[in-house]
C-alpha cells in the first residue's frame, strides 16, 4: 500500500483529476454557449448543442487534455514515472536525462523504503558510468576520477539479472561482494535495453516482490531514456559539426597534391604523400614550374588551417604575378608562417624546374631533406643555405624527406 501511495502516484492522480475536470467544464461551457447563442427559431436546439459540444470535446478538449497533463507531469512529477501512454511518448521524444536523475532517481529509492541509494548512468561517450547519490532527501553527483569502468565484473554480473541482484547470492564471487559493500548496497537493479547496460540503481534496502516488479518496469523506461539521450546527443553533435566536416573535406581536397607536370623532356613523378603536407606546382609566365613542399611538425586542426592559409597566399601571389624566384617564394612562406604565429618546427623545400635549360633549382629549410641520384644514394646533393642546381639525366634524381622519397626527376626522350 505504501508503494501505491507514493509521492509520484499521488501527484500524478491529482494532475489527472484536475485535467479531466477541466475537460468536463470545457465541454459543458461549449454546450451552454450553443444553447444561448443558437437562434430560438431553430428546432432541436438542445440536440444541436449536444452534438456540437461532443464534437468539440473529441477533437479539441481530449488532445488539449493530453498536452496539458503531459506538461504538468513533466513539471511536477516526471513523464518517466507515469503509466499514461501519452506521457511515455513525450518521455521518448524529450530524452530528458536531467529530469530522470532529478525526479525518477529519488522516487526509485523511496519505493524501496531505502534511506540511501546510488544511480549509475552511462556517459554519452560510452566510456564510463557517472555516479549519483541520494540520501536524506539530498542528491549530488559523486566526483570520481574514472567513474565506473564498463569492464567491471559487477556490471557484467548484473547485466544478466534483469529483475535485480541481492547481495550474497550463491553465484556471486568475492570481487562482486566487495563492489556491493563499496556501493553500500544490498540490492542493485540494472537498466538494460537491447542487451546493453545503460546504468543501474543501488539501494540499501531489499524491496518486496511487488515493489520489485514495479521497479523493473521503471528500470526499462530509465534504460530507454538513457539510450535515447545518448542518441540525441550524438545527432546534435553531428549536426553541430556537419559544416566543419564539410569544410574539412574541402580543405583536404585542396591539400591533395596535383599530378606533377611534364616539363619539356623532364618527367616528374610523385612518389608518396601523407596528411599534414602541402605540395603544389605553379607555372610561371616563362612556362617554368615552381614546386613548394611544406611539412609541419604537428598534424591537427590548427596545422591544416595553417597549410590552407599558406596555399591561399601562394595562389594569390601567383595571380598577382609575383612568383619570380625561389628566394621570394621561400621568404613569402616563412613570413606568412610568422604572421599566423606558427612557433612549431617545419620543413620547407622550394624548387624550380626550368623548361629552357632543363635545370632543377632547390632551396631547403630543415635538416630532413636529401636530394640524390639513383646510382649514388649515399651522396646528398642538397645543402642548407644556398640554391642547389642540378641537371636531370636518365639516372633518376630523387627528393626525399626523412628518408622517404617524395619526388623523382628524370630526363626522357634523350638519344644516347
Condensed to tens digits (0 to 9), the pLDDT of residues 276-289 reads 788 888 777 777 78
The model carries a pTM of 0.45
The residue-averaged pLDDT of 349-376 equals 86
What's the sign of the alpha-carbon dihedral 335, 337, 342, 346? Answer: negative
The residue-averaged pLDDT of 351-372 equals 85
pLDDT band at 1 (very low <50, low <70, confident <90, very high): very low
Residue intervals in the chain for CATH 3.30.450.40: 97-233
- Position with higher pLDDT, 266 vs 30: 30
The residue-averaged pLDDT of 398-415 equals 81
Residue 310 reports pLDDT greater than 50: yes
Residues 397 and 390 sit within 8 Å (Cβ to Cβ): yes
How confident is the model at residue 415, as a pLDDT? 41
The residue-averaged pLDDT of 278-302 equals 80
Residue 43 reports pLDDT greater than 60: yes
Residue intervals in the chain for CATH 3.60.40.10: 256-411
How confident is the model at residue 88, as a pLDDT? 55
Distance between the two ends of the chain, CA-based, in angstroms? 106
Q: How many CA atoms within 13 Å lie on the side-chain side of 249? A: 5
- Cell 645543402 locates to 383
User: For the ranges 101-115, 134-148, 349-363, 378-392, which has the lowest average pLDDT?
Assistant: 134-148
CATH number for the domain running over 256-411 = 3.60.40.10
Residues 265 and 413 sit within 8 Å (Cβ to Cβ): yes
* Tens digits of residue pLDDT in 228-256: 888 877 776 666 556 555 555 555 555 55
What's the sign of the alpha-carbon dihedral 232, 233, 234, 235? Answer: positive
Q: What value does the mean pLDDT of the chain take?
A: 79
How confident is the model at residue 211, as a pLDDT? 86
Q: Which of 63, 71, 104 lies closest to 224, judged by CA?
A: 104
* Residues 97-233, CATH architecture: 2-Layer Sandwich (3.30)
HEC letters along the chain? CCCCCCHHHHHHHHHHHHHHHHHHHHHHHHHHHHHHHCCCCCCCHHHHHHHHHHHHHHHHHHHHHHHHHHHHHHHHCCHHHCCCHHHHHHHHHHCCHHHHHHHHHHHHHHHCCCCEEEEEEECCCCCCEEEEEEECCEEEEECCCCCECCCCHHHHHHCCCCCCEECCCCCCCHHHHHHHHHCCCCEEEEEEECCEEEEEEEECCCCCHHHHHHHHHHHHHHHHHHHHHHHHHHHHHHHHHHHHHHHHHHHHHHHCCCCCCEECCEEEEECCCCCCEEEEEEECCCCCEEEEEEEECCCCHHHHHHHHHHHHHHHHHHHCCCCCCHHHHHHHHHHHHHHCCCCCCEEEEEEEECCCCCCEEEEEECCCEEEEECCECCCCCCCCCCCEEECCCCCCEEEEECCEEEEEEEECCCCC
pLDDT band at 416 (very low <50, low <70, confident <90, very high): very low
pLDDT band at 178 (very low <50, low <70, confident <90, very high): confident
How confident is the model at residue 190, as a pLDDT? 94
Q: In whole angstroms, what is the distance from residue 366 CA to residue 260 CA?
A: 23
How confident is the model at residue 200, as a pLDDT? 93
- Position with higher pLDDT, 78 vs 348: 348
The residue-averaged pLDDT of 52-68 equals 87
The residue-averaged pLDDT of 26-45 equals 84
The residue-averaged pLDDT of 50-58 equals 88
Amino acid at each position: 500500500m505504501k508503494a501505491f501511495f507514493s509521492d509520484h502516484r499521488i501527484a500524478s492522480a491529482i494532475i489527472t483529476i484536475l485535467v479531466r475536470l477541466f475537460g468536463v467544464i470545457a465541454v459543458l461551457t461549449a454546450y451552454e454557449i450553443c444553447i444561448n447563442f443558437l437562434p430560438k427559431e431553430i428546432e432541436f436546439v438542445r440536440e444541436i448543442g449536444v452534438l456540437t459540444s461532443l464534437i468539440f470535446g473529441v477533437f479539441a478538449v481530449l488532445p488539449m487534455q493530453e498536452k496539458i497533463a503531459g506538461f504538468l507531469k513533466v513539471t511536477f512529477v516526471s513523464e518517466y514515472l507515469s503509466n499514461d501512454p501519452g506521457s511515455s511518448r513525450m518521455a521518448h521524444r524529450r530524452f530528458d536525462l536531467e529530469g530522470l536523475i532529478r525526479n525518477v532517481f529519488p522516487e526509485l529509492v523511496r519505493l524501496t523504503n531505502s534511506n540511501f541509494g546510488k544511480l549509475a548512468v552511462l556517459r554519452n561517450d560510452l566510456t564510463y558510468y557517472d555516479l549519483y547519490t541520494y540520501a536524506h532527501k539530498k542528491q549530488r553527483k559523486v566526483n570520481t576520477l574514472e567513474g565506473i569502468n564498463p569492464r567491471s565484473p559487477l556490471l557484467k554480473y548484473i547485466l544478466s539479472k534483469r529483475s535485480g541482484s541481492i547481495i550474497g547470492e550463491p553465484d556471486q564471487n568475492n570481487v562482486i561482494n566487495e563492489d556491493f559493500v563499496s556501493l553500500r548496497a544490498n540490492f542493485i537493479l540494472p537498466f538494460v535495453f537491447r542487451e546493453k547496460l545503460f546504468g543501474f540503481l543501488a539501494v540499501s534496502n531489499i524491496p518486496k516482490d511487488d515493489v520489485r516488479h514495479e521497479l523493473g518496469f521503471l528500470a526499462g523506461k530509465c534504460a530507454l531514456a538513457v539510450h535515447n539521450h545518448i542518441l540525441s546527443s550524438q545527432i546534435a553533435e553531428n549536426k553541430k559539426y556537419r559544416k566543419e566536416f564539410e569544410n574539412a573535406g574541402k580543405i583536404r581536397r585542396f591539400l591533395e597534391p596535383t599530378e606533377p607536370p611534364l616539363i619539356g623532356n623532364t618527367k616528374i613523378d610523385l612518389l608518396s604523400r601523407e596528411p599534414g603536407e602541402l605540395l603544389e606546382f605553379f607555372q610561371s609566365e616563362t612556362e617554368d614550374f615552381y614546386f613548394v613542399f611544406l611539412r609541419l611538425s604537428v598534424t591537427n586542426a590548427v596545422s591544416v588551417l595553417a597549410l590552407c592559409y599558406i596555399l591561399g597566399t601562394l595562389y594569390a601571389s601567383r595571380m598577382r604575378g609575383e612568383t619570380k624566384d625561389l628566394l621570394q617564394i621561400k621568404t613569402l612562406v616563412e613570413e606568412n608562417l610568422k604572421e599566423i604565429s606558427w612557433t612549431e618546427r617545419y620543413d620547407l623545400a622550394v624548387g624550380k624546374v626550368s623548361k629552357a635549360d632543363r635545370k632543377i633549382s632547390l632551396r631547403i629549410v630543415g635538416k630532413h631533406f636529401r636530394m640524390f641520384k639513383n646510382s649514388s644514394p649515399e651522396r646528398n646533393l642538397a645543402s642548407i643555405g644556398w640554391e642547389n642546381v642540378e641537371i636531370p639525366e636518365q639516372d633518376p634524381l630523387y627528393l626525399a624527406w626523412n628518408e622517404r622519397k617524395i619526388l623523382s626527376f628524370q630526363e626522357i626522350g634523350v638519344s644516347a
